[in-house]
Chain A
Amino acid sequence: EAGVAQSPRYKIIEKRQSVAFWCNPISGHATLYWYQQILGQGPKLLIQFQNNGVVDDSQLPKDRFSAERLKGVDSTLKIQPAKLEDSAVYLCASSLDRVGNTGELFFGEGSRLTVL
């Protein structure tokens, strides 16, 4: 079974530039998550989709971050314009159902962003 796919693995940009990350979840998984993991910290949820609808985006900095999952399958996370503090690993995860129901998230390897 293919895992969660993410690209690119690494991205270096200058502040005020834009960047986009792509995620393809495990086939059949209804729920997709984007997490931000700053060095030395645990992952923090940015946005959660159930199929193509947003369930939770309360921690997404909406002035610069946006995410979409148009067809309920793959998803894109965009940052525009980027700030130095956005340097982090962006992890995508998926689950069959909401994590409180099924308990297990499957994570991709992440996209490491460095903002100079």
Chain B
Amino acid sequence: AQKVTQAQTEISVVEKEDVTLDCVYETRDTTYYLFWYKQPPSGELVFLIRRNSFDEQNEISGRYSWNFQKSTSSFNFTITASQVVDSAVYFCALISSTLGRLYFGRGTQLTVWP
């Protein structure tokens, strides 16, 4: 079975604080992909990153960084020096090579206050 758990329903921070969004996944497949998407108030989901199961290197893109740990089945997302424009719902998602269907977590609503 494929499952993505985002335990944090809502997070509120003040601008310039760092924030980490947690994602824990379950899959029996050895080949799979993990994703993060951002959904701003406009409703359109925006792709942020994809990692495959064989690449555990952490990645940094500007203020965003991702920590992938197979040992704990986690793929956490950190925003450094958060900004008001980061306010959105963030979804973690998983696709396995056998099922080929993208499974989304329930999302984390991030609110950044000025």
By size class, the interface of chain B is 20 to 34
Alpha-carbon distance between A55 and B95 when the two chains are bound, in angstroms: 15
- With a cutoff of 8 Å between Cβ atoms, the chain B residues found around residue A48 in the complex are 101
Alpha-carbon distance between A43 and B95 when the two chains are bound, in angstroms: 13
- With a cutoff of 8 Å between Cβ atoms, the chain A residues found around residue B37 in the complex are 107
User: Quick one: closest B residue to A45, CB to CB?
Assistant: B101
Alpha-carbon distance between A28 and B95 when the two chains are bound, in angstroms: 23
- With a cutoff of 8 Å between Cβ atoms, the chain A residues found around residue B107 in the complex are 40-42
A25 at the interface (CB under 8 A from B): no
The B-contacting residues of A in range 6-28, CB under 8 angstroms, are none
Alpha-carbon distance between A91 and B50 when the two chains are bound, in angstroms: 20
- With a cutoff of 8 Å between Cβ atoms, the chain A residues found around residue B61 in the complex are none
B33 in contact with A42 (CB, 8 Å)? no
- With a cutoff of 8 Å between Cβ atoms, the chain B residues found around residue A89 in the complex are 43
- With a cutoff of 8 Å between Cβ atoms, the chain B residues found around residue A98 in the complex are 100
Alpha-carbon distance between A52 and B99 when the two chains are bound, in angstroms: 20
B95 in contact with A108 (CB, 8 Å)? no
A86 at the interface (CB under 8 A from B): no
Alpha-carbon distance between A44 and B105 when the two chains are bound, in angstroms: 10
B102 in contact with A99 (CB, 8 Å)? yes
Alpha-carbon distance between A41 and B101 when the two chains are bound, in angstroms: 17
Alpha-carbon distance between A40 and B10 when the two chains are bound, in angstroms: 11
- With a cutoff of 8 Å between Cβ atoms, the chain A residues found around residue B33 in the complex are 99-100, 103
* A interface residues with partner B (beta carbon < 8 Å): 3, 40-45, 48, 55-56, 89, 91, 93, 98-100, 103-110, 112
* B interface residues with partner A (beta carbon < 8 Å): 4, 33, 35, 37, 42-47, 50, 91, 93, 95-97, 100-102, 104-107
